[in-house]
Chain A
Amino acid sequence: MKKEISRSKEFFNLTMMFGRIYKIRVIRKLGGLCFFGVLLFSCNTSDTSYEPLPKHVDFNFHIRPILVQNCYLCHGPDPSSRKAELRLDIYEGATAALREGGFAIVPGKPRKSELMFRINHEHKDKIMPPPETNSVLTQREKDLLEKWIKQGAEWKPHWSFIQPKVAEEYHEAKIDQFIDEAIEQKGLQKAPLANKYTLIRRVAYLLTGLPPATEDVEAFVLDSSEQAYEKMVDRYLDSPAFGERWARHWMDLVRYAETKGHEFDYPITGAWKYRDYLIRAFNNDLPYDQFLKEHLAGDLLEEQRYDSESGLLESQIATAFYAMGEGTHSPVDIKQDEANRIDNMIDVTTKTFQGLTVSCAKCHDHKFDPITAADYYALYGVMESTRFTPLDADQNLAKEITAKEVLGIEAYVQKTVADKIAEKYSEIGLNNEKAPLETSNYKTLGDFRGADLDGWSTTGVAFGSGTTLGNPTIHPATGKLMKLDEGKASSRIFGSGKMGTLRSPDFILDTDFIGVRTRGKQSTIRIIVDNFQLIQWPIYGGLTQEINNAKWEDYTFNVEPWKGHKAYIEILPGEYQQHNYKLHPEAFVEAQYAISFNGDWPSMVASMQTESSTAFSEKQVNRYNNLLKKGQMNLHFPELITALDSTKNLSKTIENTAFIYGVSDGSATNSPVFIRGRYQEPSEENVPRRFLSALPHGNEPFQSKGSGRLELAEAMLQADNPLTARVMVNRIWHHLFGKGIVETVDNFGLQGKLPTHPELLDHLAITFQKEDWSIKKMIRYMVTSEAFKRSAITEGEMSEKDPNNLYLASFPIRRLESEAIRDGILAVSQSLDSTLFGPPIPTYLTEFMGGRGRPEESGPLDGAGRRSIYQEVRRNFLEPMMTTFDRPIPFTTFGRRDVTNVPAQSLILMNDPFVIQQSEILAQNLLAQKELSFDQKVAWLYMRTFSRKPTEIEVENASRFMNKITAMKKSELDKADLDLEVWKEYCHSIFNLKEFIYLI
């Protein structure tokens, strides 16, 4: 290829098309064969016999797929690659007058439609799609187009952008009616219902990720009541293990990890608390709308949610999902780093909650979906206005009430003192001082010497609601007024060791230095440039300083290298140790003001605070303190002593010891569009923050002063949003049936798969909303359907008619996920520690896991017997068993895991020390039951492992096998050891059976 051509966009588009079209052909040609051949060039397809055309040709289900695959690269939504000014993605475009005369489509008149003429053209220069695209329409596709035009060329928005609707005849329908109709239509034969052993194993694994306990299997098999199945389902829905399984599903979507990866794999503060939040949310059946809202804007909710048991503030913890991304160590281009980070946040947010690939619109309008670059940058503004922050993870209602109470008492005390002063001392002389002139070499960024925090924002409790101005010090014994506090921002309103942050609004760095006058202990001030958090050597070390001084000091930050960048100042008690937030009980920080300046620190920084709305102004405090000092003011408040005492005691209960990395709101920023995705080329106008323009309410700019995340959540939850409920019920279906109704669970766009059962999907979406977004009810509804209860056993003919089992005539066989395999081994061997929640178990490190950031010590081989969800997820040291069995690499949303089949999996089950260890434990536990006969032992093992009884042949096989092994080992061991050894080999073999890792 010549360079000039290949650089052009058309060529790129063409080649993209090559790949795709080629693929379709190959699939068509090859069917299910294993194919290892060389390139197969597509041939002309003029098939005459094909599946009959539908009576009514539907635009979404029959026509659009043809247009997407063959036409949209040049005639789609992206204007930059559009040819002949023709667009076929909208009705107006397709029916508009063509540049060269005529109309592409004349509804009702295929013969007058240029499109029909061109797709049937003989000449290679005229035929569409052009030959160089390697794309050829089949006869059926051409006939479909013709019939559709004849029927009036009805246009519809993409199916997933139309609100779910259930036709009248389906109003009373349940899941099985939809499924059965399709089965009938396709002429398939339904498999019989599975037996009870199979069913309980299926339900237990799919609901809890663990095999059913033997007693439960036996009880269920014996329970002949009509409600036996439902009761069994409810038991698993109520099991705490339910949340553990479904939380892990969710963690795949939000790229869950406990470290930041990149060069040094720094920890993400308290990531596991988010994991625990998820487990609680699923176990408590938190309604999905609330769940979504907490994820997007849990820190902004007017009505916060507290855990009913512990009283813990839950809602803000969910925002940790934003902060689960990769963190770059010392990026030289900090603005690009921000763009990458935000891109990932948009990608994950839109895929997870809307099933849309909005990130495709970073460099240009989406090639296929009605998502514009402006949409992307509208969301970019939302993310850019969002700040990362450590949050208090053990915040609870009691603490909040206490804090309010303390502040109330303090206000009362201050007012009492103020009133008395006002009564006794006149205001003479107050206005004599002149405000000093502001000098020119500095600018005030924040001044806390007055009563308020000067527009800076806080998180947590530590900084209270204002400065300390005018807080009276009263002698604890006599009640004598000693002094009034000067104004300052202070993190010890409730004493030291309290969590909170104080942050300036965004500003543009335009001087060489930032200065903060401050004092404190084991605390930190940071200058956050372009939202960059991993501040440290070699480039960024100067942007953070530790505060450790009892007296006021001036701290200077050299910000000269980042002039022109956006920044804010962060003041917080506590420290980031290797980027992990820690708060010492003694830690506190206080600040008087922050400035930006050039040259030397200004000789005086004038107070900018105006008259105060609280009891005292700054001037009054100065004057009264003078009087107090000189003994000219003599006041006693013995009645306040108890009140002040009580505040001290109350404050002690506000403890902060657990933290999580989440978000808070920054300054509202609208972003320009970055032309071709390059931030160096911003558009002239900014895009207001808003939702996606193709969706309801997508054109209404967000009004919030902060990020607009709450409005984003609300837009997604509007009753007319067509995606939110559909995407979630489809995910649930996917986890239960192994395949979504829309198979591309993260992509409901034009390139995603069409739903196999569109009416069913809509029925479920509507039901989901009607049932208050209850995930448990939805799961219950699905697993009590007949479709779910069908046997997996297939007859030859059946599988040929529906080789991918799209229509669910039988239950799809599937391999268990990595977690279920490992947890199953632990459960069977009775090594499982079913403790819920808590810090992660450190990763077991093999010699193959090297590199920077490697922890000094390895975790235990058996992960302390805890479930896989509690094993640490270190980005740069992912657990090999998990990744080998297809747990996704946590970098973006994966709603559907790959299911690969590689020797490394077999090698793990054959040779991994963990599996060997568990086999031995299992054998020990088995032999400890001395009362069991040989047959009973085998039966015990089968029940635990496969949730069923062994057949006679299986017992025989076992016996034969163990005899052989005994013969092989006999010479070396005495009887007791021999028994254990032989059973160990048997147990190990049992773990290696496909029946153990497949759900059949």
Chain B
Amino acid sequence: MSKYHNFMRKPLSRREMLSICKGGFGSLAFMSLFGVSTISCNRSKYDALGSGSDILLGPHYLPKAKNVVFLYMDGGVSQVDSFDPKPRLAKENGQDPRKKFKVDATQFDNVGKILKSPWEFKQYGECGMPVSELFPHIANCVDDIALIRSMTSQFPEHTNANYFLHTGSGLQGRPSMGSWMTYGLGSENKNIPGYVVLDGGLIPPGGLDNFKNGFLPASYQASILRAGPQPVANIIPKEQIPNLQEQKLDFIKELDEKQLNAIGEADAIESAISNYELAYKMQSSIPELTEFKEETEATKKLYGFDSDDPHTRGYAAQCLLARRLVERGVRFIELTCPKVSADRWDQHGDLKDGHEKNAHAVDQPIAGLLKDLKSRGMLEETLVVWTGEFGRTPFAQGLNGRDHNPSAFSMWMAGAGIKGGTIFGKTDEYGYRVIENEVTIHDMHATIMHLMGIDHERLTFRFGGRDMRLTDVHGHVIKDILA
């Protein structure tokens, strides 16, 4: 249990906090959770509102995972070209799919012929999991991976499917899973947000709403981190002279506290004052994150920093950053895709070229992340999730593309609490539909939450007269992939 002491917080009254605050600026070291503790100071107010906002719970039971790294494969990777080999496609290549099976309406309504995978599959690891040539590096990690071949979504359109994947609802405006996680668990680090999206260059269709707090308080929305000199909005002080900002902040604090004393008790103002402490610290803790000075060349190389492909290098930096965020206790980290020349994984045409470019950008960095986490003993407490919002059709769109397919796709998880080398679920001989052990997006959410120590049916927030959940009224934990 001691290992999870981070979940156990000593209650601290506002008065206590304030008394700690009395030192000079920047000396403050009280327990606080980004966006959580600060609002918890307002909790009593919140509860009085009867909005049903649940009090910060901590986990429902002993968690396996402390952090999640969510590798979002924007646009939808083709399952039959990556992790779900279908020899029958080669046999029937070029034939009319409508003569073989019932074809659902597709978004682009341009159904071509059955299209065999342009890539060979080989078996890897002790478990012998087949992986296509697209992912030679990830293929070497299969013994740590639980593969689910029976994922389904409800939407064949990107935006709905993205909202669904991220928030459990196909509509705009619901809280994303990272928001739910930080709402339920808080963050472990006081100087870094609990929910971070590493923007690789492509914000998915549906926009920033994929990462928003919906009806949860705004403190639970994702912070967007970008590569470059200013990783987070407004994180760099504009004051050029050393200590100038500190002078100003000390001045501000002095006046604020005088004002506060004059008023009497004002919780809100107290917390607003303490907010400046956090903000101040973030100014140094965030940029420090994105400097990789103390990382060894070997580590960087493992991720692919020396690749010829600029997109591989970019994604490598994102993955390394993800590890550094995990080290610092960030709960939920999502990586969006790099802007390779092809449009994300969404290959409506020219599958071979597009998928190869995308795969090349992410393959080595992801494998690097898994290996690095493992060698540092961090994989045991970190859940890595790899998925798109849906899959692609086994038949061509036009001549050489593939259309959206929400009826079957592959995802995998690795790390904390996951039974490596597992393959779960089954699609038909074409990889078009799930025929065994369907796993819905709700199930995926329930499983991630479960590993984080949250009972997805019990983490609720009262909104609009209902106790809302990430999984709505659905979702089952996929026990078969758990260690």
Contact = CB atoms under 8 A, between A and B. Distances in A.
A36 B207 contact: no
B275 A993 contact: no
Contact of A262 (B13, B44, B206): B206
Interface in B297-315: none
Contacts of A850: 199, 201-203
A263 B55 contact: no
Nearest to B158: A263
A331 B247 CA distance: 55
Contacts of B159: 262-263, 328-329
Contacts of B391: none
Given A34-B37, A889-B214, A968-B244, A875 B172 contact: yes
Nearest to A351: B464
Interface string A63-100: 00000000000000000000000000000000000000
A368 B57 CA distance: 26
A848 B224 contact: yes
Interface string B236-266: 1111010111011101101110111011111
A814 to B, nearest CB: 7
B204 interface: yes
Main secondary structure of the interface of B (DSSP, over half): loop
Nearest to A9: B473
A892 to B, nearest CB: 7
A441 to B, nearest CB: 26
B207 A261 contact: yes
A6 B275 contact: no
Contacts of B458: 15, 18-19, 22
A675 interface: no
Interface string A176-215: 0000000000000000000000000000000000000000
A510 B207 CA distance: 38
Interface in B173-229: 173, 186, 199, 201-209, 212-214, 217-219, 221, 223-224, 226, 228
A357 to B, nearest CB: 3
B140 interface: no
B269 A813 contact: yes
B282 A892 contact: no
Interface in A839-864: 846-853
A642 interface: no
A340 B51 CA distance: 24
A331 B160 contact: yes
Nearest to B9: A36
Contacts, number: 344
A219 interface: no
A902 B39 contact: yes
A270 B439 CA distance: 44
Contact of A903 (B34, B42, B207, B239): B34
Given A328-B160, A968-B247, A989-B248, A20 B52 contact: yes
Contacts of B105: 332, 539, 561
A902 B38 contact: yes
Contacts of A344: 171
A19 B462 CA distance: 10
Contacts of A332: 105-107, 155-157
Contacts of A578: none
Interface string B91-135: 000000000000001111110000000000000000000000000
A36 B464 contact: no
B208 A849 contact: yes
Contact of A848 (B158, B206, B226): B226
B10 interface: yes
Contacts of B47: 23, 27
B251 A989 contact: yes
B293 interface: no
A136 B105 CA distance: 52
Contacts of B33: 36
B467 A20 contact: yes
Interface stretch (A278-286, A467-475, A496-504, A796-804): A796-804
Given A262-B172, A900-B219, A813 B268 contact: yes
Interface in B384-422: none
Contacts of A883: 218, 221
B269 A998 contact: yes
A685 interface: no
B248 A985 contact: yes
A961 B250 CA distance: 10
A393 B311 CA distance: 49
B64 to A, nearest CB: 16
A900 B258 CA distance: 23
B238 A994 contact: no
Contact of B233 (A16, A749, A846): A846
Interface string A893-905: 0001011111111
Interface stretch (A141-149, A290-298, A906-914): A906-914
Nearest to B106: A332
Contacts of B239: 985
A428 interface: no
Given A19-B460, A35-B56, A850-B202, A994 B155 contact: no
Contact of A902 (B45, B171, B256, B275): B275
A3 interface: yes
Interface stretch (A152-160, A666-674, A787-795, A924-932): A787-795
Contacts of A12: 457, 473
B122 to A, nearest CB: 36
Contacts of A265: 207
B233 A35 contact: no
Contact of A891 (B171, B233, B459): B171
Contacts of A848: 199, 224, 226, 233
Given A794-B264, A896-B49, A902-B218, A538 B202 contact: no
Contacts of B52: 20, 23, 751
A592 interface: no
Contact of A876 (B208, B228, B262): B208
B217 A753 contact: no
Contacts of A852: 203, 205, 207
A240 interface: no
A592 B113 CA distance: 43
Closest 3 CB pairs of A and B: A36-B9, A891-B173, A357-B465
